[in-house]
Amino acid sequence: MEIVFGTDVGSWGEVTGQAAWMEADLWVHELGMDPMMVIRSMTLDAARMMGAERESGSISEGKFADVIAVRGDPLRNIACRCATRRSSSSTGAATE
C-alpha cells in the first residue's frame, strides 16, 4: 500500500494551509515515518498518483513548482517548515 498526501483545504475546523503540515508532523512523530519519505509523499508521489509527475512533483526544468525556504533542516526537524523564510511559485510570485 502506498500513502500519499492530498489536500485538507476546506475541511471544517482546519486552518487553511496548515492541515497538511500538521498531518506531516503526525506521520513523523506518531507513526515514526522518515521525514524524507513524508516530504516525498507530499510532492513526487502525490503527483505520480494523479498522473502529473511530468509537470510537477519535483524540481526540474520545464516543471511547475512552488518552492519554500525554511530556517533549519526539515529532514532533522519536520516542524521547521513553520519558519518559512521565502516562498516562490512557478508563476514568479515571491513572498518574504
- The count of domains in the chain is 1
In a domain, 58, yes or no: yes
DSSP E strands, the chain: 66-70, 84-89, 94-95
In a domain, 73, yes or no: yes
Using CA atoms, how far apart are residues 56 and 63, in angstroms rounded to an integer? Answer: 5
Provide the residue type at 22 as one letter.
Answer: M
Q: What is the pLDDT along the chain (96 residues), one digit of tens a residue?
A: 788 887 656 566 666 667 777 888 889 999 999 999 998 998 899 899 999 999 988 888 888 877 777 788 888 888 776 655 554 555 554 444
Provide the domain limits for residue 70. 19-95
In a domain, 12, yes or no: no
In a domain, 14, yes or no: no
In a domain, 1, yes or no: no
Q: What is the pTM for the complete model shown?
A: 0.72
In a domain, 10, yes or no: no
In a domain, 2, yes or no: no
CA dihedral sign of residues 80, 85, 52, 5: positive
